[in-house]
């Protein structure tokens, strides 16, 4: 398995194990959160 694929798999597993991240993802998929575009010109991305 290429290193890049392994690292992507490990990152995915980390996200799946993070309860807060999964709650946020489920809320976004269900349309319960407001979309805020990121400003890539801002060092804090406009957050």
| 3-class DSSP string for 18-44 | CHHHHHHHHHHHCCCCCCCCCCCCCCC
Residues 21-41: tens digit of each pLDDT: 999 999 989 999 887 788 888
When pLDDT is cut at 50, 70 and 90, the band that residue 45 belongs to is confident
Q: Is 15 helix (H, G, I), strand (E, B) or coil?
A: helix
Tens digits of residue pLDDT in 3-21: 999 999 999 999 999 999 9
User: Which tokens hold the place of 30?
Assistant: 């269900």
């Amino acid at each position: 398995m290429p290193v890049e694929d392994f690292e992507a798999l490990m990152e995915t597993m980390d996200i799946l194990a993070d309860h807060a991240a999964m709650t946020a993802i489920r809320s976004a998929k269900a349309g319960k959160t407001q979309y805020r575009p990121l400003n890539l010109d801002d060092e804090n991305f406009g957050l």
